[in-house]
Amino acid sequence: MKGSGTMALSDKCVISAALAGGGTFKTQNPAVPYTPEEFADEAYKAYNEGAAIVHIHARNPETGAPTPDIPTIRNVVEAIRAKCPILINLSTAITVGIKPKERIAPVKELKPDLASLNCNTMNFARPDYATGAILFEFVFENTFEIMTMFAKAMREAGTKPELEVYDVGHINNIMFVRQQGLLEEPLHFQFVFGVCGGIPFSPANLMRMRESIPPDASWSVCGVSVHSYPAGFMSAIMGGHIRVGLEDNINISKGVLAKGNWELVQKAVQIAKLAEREIATVDETRELLHLPKRG
């Protein structure tokens, strides 16, 4: 997507599309991609609508299960890169129950533009808010040792860490790790709202998160389910960036399934434009987030 070039680069808005998370499946929304071809098609459509970054949890193409298998992830990445120049952001969360070395191995091997670096061990649950019951939960392990190992690996790979923070205290953790000099400066944060076990979205919570990071850091918001669009609106108003996608929200509006990641990107673009923000292109995003140029 081409930008109009009439706004200062620092004021432009980066749109990311999280194509398929570890817990979203075709049974919930048929547009969730499983195969490399489906990932490439979703990425291409999202790129044409204005996304500069795609965040990836690769899937076993036959079962749809999230996988740390490097050949499978490579097939997805190569299929996307063959179709459009969008930036690649690999998940290091991937799926439940795999060891830290398995989580970081795809980054070390494939050297994506960005990768997630999660900043706290936390309860991570899928709730039934109507009854207060927990449908599924696990302990998402991200110790200081794991954070340091991931930071080193990303630095060696030339991959920019996207610092995933689910609560204000998680920012304190990464600021402690930062003292080791392993993180590329300026830092880039993703504020995640609405995970059961993390902080919910509110304007006050977003403002507290924003004021807790270094003044030169870039930042984006990711709202889960009903938190998605309110968080996106507030981020656009405050000068941040926006992540949407079928990982975070399978609906385009209440009770209406999104036709694909591209439709969610369309909505994010509309939100940014209502805030009088222009959409950053891939090249502009590289500059905004201080990413190395590839090839």
Lowest mean pLDDT among 69-83, 125-139, 186-200, 236-250: 125-139
pLDDT band at 2; cut points 50, 70, 90: very low
pLDDT band at 198; cut points 50, 70, 90: very high
**Whole-angstrom distance, CA of residue 167 vs CA of residue 52:** 26
Per-residue pLDDT averaged across 5-32, rounded?
94
Could you tell me the residue ranges of all domains in the chain?
9-288
Reply yes or no on whether the pLDDT at 153 is more than 80: yes
Mean pLDDT for the chain overall: 96
Q: What is the pLDDT of residues 53-93, one digit of tens each?
A: 999 999 999 999 999 999 999 999 999 999 999 999 999 99
Reply yes or no on whether the pLDDT at 3 is more than 70: no
CATH class of 9-288: alpha beta
Q: Name every residue whose Cβ is closer than 8 Å to that of residue 62 and which is 6 or more positions away in sequence.
A: none
Go through the chain and tell me how many residues it has.
295
Per-residue pLDDT averaged across 226-238, rounded?
97
Task: Tell me which residue of 232, 225, 230, 239 sits closest to 265, measured CA to CA.
Answer: 232
Mark 210-244 as b/e (b = at least 16 C-beta within 10 Å): bebbeeeebbbbbbbeebbbbbbbbbbbeebbbbb
Reply yes or no on whether the pLDDT at 4 is more than 80: no
